[in-house]
Amino acid sequence: SPQQPTWIEQIEGTLVLADISGFTRLSERLAEIGKEGAERLTEIINSYFSRMLDMARSLDGHNVKFGGDALLLLFMGNDHALRAVATSLAMIRATQSFKAVIIGKERIRLNMSAGVHSGTFWSASAGISGVRMQHFLLGREASYAAKAEGKSESGEVVVTPATRQLLGDRCETEHCGDFFRVLRLTTRIA
């Protein structure tokens, strides 16, 4: 098969790194049960991530990367920062309302924290067309969402100064070191 040439472009937008805690413990406990546990884990993961990705898509967010315990979402176009923060807050509320999983006497809850950064990113795709293509976000700017997420506690959204500036008076925040913890949005998203 012919190799697709690598392409790279600059894009403007907002990245959300949403980190989910609880999946490691959940998968360990369900693995102890065997095949039934593996099926249950698959069902929980599919249900949970489908819900999170539907929320992102509803505000025109795109899934860049999906890991066992994290989502990397990209928002572009009008009000990308506002839509990214609104999605992050909605995903956290949904995670908090997600039913606890009871395994034996243990009750396991999922939690989420998110870091949000707006900027210019290098978007690249490489691979073999029709076989396996990979998408990457590169450059220094791409790491800032992870730095913001590193400052967030469970149930919190932390944004970088660049995102805070784009939000203007549509969001209440408080300082969190060099970043800002989101308290609430002061505007509704259509």
CA torsion angle 12 88 17 146 (round to 10): 90
**H helices within the chain, ranges in order?**
23-31, 35-58, 80-97, 144-150, 161-167
Model confidence pLDDT, tens digit, residues 67-107: 768 999 999 999 999 999 999 999 999 999 988 888 888 89
| pLDDT(6) > 90 | no
**For helices 80-97 and 35-58, angle between their N-to-C axes, nearest 10 degrees:** 150
| pLDDT(41) > 50 | yes
Q: Quick one: average pLDDT of 134-144?
A: 79
- Say if residues 121 and 114 touch (Cβ distance below 8 Å): no
Q: How confident is the model at residue 190 (pLDDT cuts 50, 70, 90)?
A: low
* Dist. CA 41–CA 26, nearest whole Å: 8
- Across 39-43, 107-111, 144-148, 159-163, the highest mean pLDDT is recorded for 159-163
* Dist. CA 74–CA 185, nearest whole Å: 19
The reported pLDDT for the residue numbered 80 is 97
